[in-house]
Every structure is written in C-alpha cells, then in structure tokens.
Amino acid sequence: MAEQVGEVRAVVFVRDGGCVALRIDSKAGPCHDAWGSPLGWRVLSGMEMDYIRKRSTGRRHELASDHVTLCPGHHRGMGARQGYVWATAHRPELREYLERWATDDETPTD
C-alpha cells in the first residue's frame, strides 16, 4: 500500500507541477511549509497530496485523478491563516480542477 501511495503521489505531483491553489484561486496567497515559512509553489519536496474526490471509495489513494498537490499552508492552514483552511473552503473548485483530468485520461489540456 505504501508503495502504491508513493506511485500515485509521483503522478499527481508531476501532473500538477506544484501547489494548485494559486492556479485555481488568484487570491489564495503565497504557499507555506508546515511551519509557516514561505515556500515556492513548485518546491515539490515540500508539497502534500490532498484527497478530493471519493471516486475510489474503498480503494483510497489509488487514483491520481482523485488527488491534488497542495503546499501545507493551503492544505491545512497555519500561522496567520490558522482557522481558515484554503483547501476546505475551495472543495468545489478543486473537484472542478480534477474533472479536467478525469475526462481526458490524465493528459494535460493546457
């Protein structure tokens, strides 16, 4: 299972190329690491994977098109933004983003 999660993570990270928050929401603000320090949105080593769609019920983390790449700041919220979690507030937008990939065999369209 751990190996499987690693594979999905690699596909998701390469597909997104970094935190997707700013691409979906121009007001998302800068990316941050788990300690609240600024983090480049393309620094994949600091990114996390968020599980958005429930398409793979019972087979959680098997489908790359169910996940997005987010920095810890946009994924969980922290520091000055604690209390407001971008990922939670933008569930519909994240699902919409994933729809683009799910219907296109996970090939980039833009």
Q: DSSP labels for 64-87?
A: GGGEEEE-HHHHH--GGGTT--HH
C-alpha to C-alpha distance for 9 and 47, rounded to whole angstroms = 10
**In this chain, which of 74, 76, 77, 93 binds Zn ion, going by CB under 5 A?**
74
Which is nearer to Zn ion, 8 or 21 (by Cβ)?
A: 21
Residues that contact Zn ion, how many (by CB under 5 A): 5
Show the binding pattern over residues 34-73: x = contacts Zn ion (CB under 5 A), - = does not: -------------------------------------x--
Which is nearer to Zn ion, 88 or 103 (by Cβ)?
A: 88
Tally of CA atoms within 13 A in the half-sphere of 93 that contains its CB:
13
C-alpha to C-alpha distance for 85 and 5, rounded to whole angstroms = 24
> Which residues of this chain interact with Zn ion, rule CB under 5 A?
19, 21, 31, 71, 74
